[in-house]
Structure 1
Amino acid sequence: MSSSTVANRYAQALFQVSLKKGTLEQSIEELRAIKTVLKTTPEFSQFLSNPKISKEQKHSFIRTSFQSASQDVITTLLLLVDKKRLDILESMIEKFVSLSFEAQNIAEATVYSAKALTEQEQEQIAQVFASKVGKARLLINNVVNADLLGGFKIRIGDRIYDGSIKSQLDRLERQLVTGTR
């Protein structure tokens, strides 16, 4: 069985439990925090994947490291340790977040802009583009990109909406070069 299939099964199981208990938002936050720890602290992953360290030590380490996490998330982590499946943790977290957002009709958007957007600007963009993509809510992640000159570019899933001045200038240049207008 492929790693992505196994990750999907674990994500689906945790999703069903969180949905039933009404803790989707909490589980998303906790799993994202765990993913951040994995990415920023390679020693954490090395410790958990070390075969010389016993399951009990790993269990204890997880419980103390994530003592504020919900029991369902902790149980899932412990199960991954028991089954020696910690290699799928990141993909399981991504799948869980995807399932949760789909159930809540939420999408994530990355907005590239020449300068940092204010909260009000982010809310306006979220309102306008949520209806365009058929979602109830849009979560905005603002990335400052000085190459844009002005305007912004939005990526929602596999869609890109480009309203940057740079892209408008590039289109104008192509039209001038080809002689069409």
Structure 2
Amino acid sequence: MSDSVVANRYAVALFELGQEKLALDQLLTEVQAVQTVFNESQDLTTFLSSPSISIEKKKALLKDAFKDVSKELLNTLFIMTERHRETEIPAMTRAFISMTNESRGVAEADVYSVRALSDEEKQSLEKVFAEKLGKNSLYITNIVDPSLIGGVKLKIGNRIYDGTISRKLERIERELVSANK
């Protein structure tokens, strides 16, 4: 069974539980916190994936690390640990966040720019691209990339909208090279 399928199943179960208990907002916030912890702590992932550490110790660490999360999320983490699916927790969090955003008509966008974007620039991009994609809103993560020279590049799901100067220069170069042949 594929890892992403396993993570998806846990995410779906947690999502449905959140809908049933009308606690999707709270769960989303908690899952984002869990995702951040796993992204920032390689030691946690190493500890949880170690076969020499007992399940009880792993569960105790999870309970201590995530003592403020709901019992639904904590129980999901426990079940994943008991079934030796600890390494799937980060994938489960990504799948849960994606499902929640999809249910709300929200898309996540990585916006690459030469400098940090102002709030007005983010709102302008959000308005234009949310409308273009038929979404209610965009959750924008701004990534500063000085190699772009200018302009912005958006990555939304598997779509890329590239309006950077470096990309335009590449196109001009290709046209010049092909014209000289």
Q: Is residue 53 of structure 1 aligned with residue 62 of structure 2?
A: no
Secondary structure of 2:68's partner? coil
Secondary structure of 2:139's partner? strand
Secondary structure of 1:84's partner? coil
Identity %: 41
Structure 1 residues 17-96: aligned runs within 5 Å: 17-96=17-96
In structure 2, the CA distance between the partners of 1:178 and 1:57, relative to structure 1 (3 Å rule), is closer
- In structure 1, C-alpha distance between the alignment counterparts of 2:46 and 2:165, rounded to whole Å: 45
- In structure 2, C-alpha distance between the alignment counterparts of 1:160 and 1:49, rounded to whole Å: 35
CA displacement at 1:53 relative to structure 2: 3.3
In structure 2, the CA distance between the partners of 1:12 and 1:178, relative to structure 1 (3 Å rule), is same
Q: TM-score, normalised by structure 2?
A: 0.89
CA displacement at 1:115 relative to structure 2: 1.0
Secondary structure of 2:160's partner? strand
Secondary structure of 2:88's partner? helix
Q: TM-score, normalised by structure 1?
A: 0.89
Secondary structure of 1:138's partner? strand
Q: Specify the alignment match of 2:167 in structure 1.
A: 167
CA displacement at 1:117 relative to structure 2: 0.2
CA displacement at 1:150 relative to structure 2: 1.2
Q: Is residue 147 of structure 1 aligned with residue 138 of structure 2?
A: no
- In structure 2, C-alpha distance between the alignment counterparts of 1:49 and 1:147, rounded to whole Å: 37
CA displacement at 1:97 relative to structure 2: 1.4
Unaligned ranges ≥5, structure 2:
none
